[in-house]
Amino acid sequence: MLRAPLIPKHPNGCPYLQLAPMEGVGDRCFRKAMASIGGFDEAVRDFIRVPKNAHIPSLAAEYQADELAPIPLAAQLMGSDPELMAMAAQAMESQGALRIDVNCGCPSNTVTGRGAGSSLLKDPNFLLEVGLAVVQAVSIPVTIKMRSGFEDTSLFKENLLAAQETGVRYITLHPRTKADGYGPPARWDLIAEAKSILRIPVVGNGDILTVENALEMLRLTRCDALMIGRGSVINPFIFHQIKAHFSKKTYQPQWADLIRYFNVYLEEMPPDMHMKSKVCKLKQLLGFFFKGNAQLLNFRNDVLRSQYLDPNDLMDYALPILKEHLRGLSSSSQEAHNQRDQEDDEENPK
């Protein structure tokens, strides 16, 4: 007997919206910055690697269930040893995880060379073994995030059915193969095919960069929810914009929210991180953000090639560019922000 779907539905028809795990981009800094803006219903932590010599207590310490409270944060595990994956899942459950996601999608050669990530898609029977071990080890829901195949999609149906057979509550599908990397367009037709094959829900992921993309994926695939990764780095307001569409309201991004987003990102950088690394991280974030606006795109290379040694100095350089050229942010919000700055200066004279 099938359990009730884990994915809730918004009354106005808006799909459940998830912030995707993204290696190298979607770390704690980014998640906290996005949570300061909000709009998404749930986030998935970037994967926690479970190596052959895994020290389970150390892995458990990498996950904090209340990191984004009140927004839930799922734990994602990546490994190829069924027993260790099961033990890691139990550790995440003891840390308060509400959901465990099994990574069957990472295309990194370092990962796949160790038999993890999208390597699990080479053998549906092994995918079944790993998935079953995790599902049977915990009482909380388990899900799987997968690609459409390793070298090709020849085992696509077999992998889907194996994943379903594990007892996971739903599958998130990024419809590119490992060989595709992030290059060719995501094949949304495969999400539609997965919906026709499976009895459990399917979350659509891949190439959702705009509200229009989100609506088109829903129309073409009939998927049960949306997971957005790169689109949220380019436009951190995308979740609010999607929800506004279904609410038949106009969403006006606020300058104060954008300022807070960048400030939180800077504040959450590890204090022991080298200053040069902090500057590089901020450049990465700004590089994505400047991609999302035709006006800002002209200044992207200037920002990326700048020689600032402190991330705060880089931010001081970028903010006037954002203020002058960003369209769609509330001017009244900018005035309110400036007023707050003035009040802060009066209360805390330098």
Dist. CA 131–CA 54, nearest whole Å: 18
- Alpha-carbon distances of 235 from 130, 204, 239, 262, 268, rounded to whole Å: 35, 18, 9, 13, 20
pLDDT at 327: 67
- Residue 112: which residues within 8 A CB-CB, separation 6 or more? 106, 118, 119, 150, 178
- Residue 61: which residues within 8 A CB-CB, separation 6 or more? none
In 10 A of CB 223, how many CB atoms?
Answer: 23
Dist. CA 70–CA 53, nearest whole Å: 34
Decide: helix, strand or coil at residue 344.
helix
Burial grade of 261 (CB within 10 A; 0-12, 13-18, 19 or more): buried
Task: Tell me the pTM.
Answer: 0.89
Catalytic annotation, pick one of 14, 106, 223, 280: 106
pLDDT by residue for the chain (350 residues), tens only, comes to: 344 457 888 889 999 999 999 988 999 999 999 999 999 999 999 999 999 999 999 999 999 999 999 999 999 999 999 999 999 999 999 999 999 999 999 888 778 878 889 999 999 999 999 999 999 999 999 999 999 999 999 999 999 999 999 999 999 999 999 999 888 899 999 999 999 999 999 999 999 999 999 999 999 999 999 999 999 999 999 999 999 999 999 898 999 999 999 999 999 999 999 999 999 999 999 999 999 888 899 999 999 999 999 999 999 999 999 988 876 676 443 333 343 344 333 333 33
Element (H, E) at 131: helix 124-137
pLDDT at 333: 36
Query: How many residues are recorded in the chain?
Result: 350
pLDDT at 4: 45
Active site residue 104: no
- Alpha-carbon distances of 103 from 81, 163, 198, 278, rounded to whole Å: 13, 11, 19, 28
| DSSP-assigned letter for residue 118 | G
Dist. CA 142–CA 199, nearest whole Å: 16
In 10 A of CB 236, how many CB atoms?
Answer: 27
**∠ CA 161-166-171 to the nearest 5 degrees?**
65
pLDDT at 82: 96
pLDDT at 294: 86
Tokens matching residue 300: 């992207």
